[in-house]
Amino acid sequence: MTEIKPQLLRLRVSTSDALRQELKFSAHRSLSALADELLQKGLESSARQRMMQAEMDRQAGRNG
């Protein structure tokens, strides 16, 4: 089972509203579970983009 750490996050009102709206169409049982999944996906995507950019920068430096 995944470890859970209670965390208080301050979100913009628009972000909180968007999460609540998304929850209506989601299979998630709680706002926290939905937010956790969306954050995880976003962080994974950011990490992939950084790795791709670093590889492109490395290749440009070697080939340029």
The CA-atom distances, in angstroms, between 38 and each of 56, 57, 60, 62 are 27, 28, 33, 36
8 assigned to some structural domain = no
52 assigned to some structural domain = yes
List pLDDT tens digits, range 40-64. Answer: 999 999 999 999 999 999 999 865 5
Mean pLDDT in residue range 17-25: 97
pLDDT, mean over the chain: 93
| Per-residue pLDDT at 44 | 98
54 assigned to some structural domain = yes
Single pTM value for the model: 0.79
In single-letter form, the type of residue at position 48 comes to: R
6 assigned to some structural domain = no
Query: Among all chains, which residue has been given the structure tokens 């979100």?
Result: 11
2 assigned to some structural domain = no
Q: Which residues, other chains included, contact 23 with Cβ-Cβ below 8 Å and sequence gap of 6+? A: 31, 34
Q: How many domains does the chain have?
A: 1
10 assigned to some structural domain = no
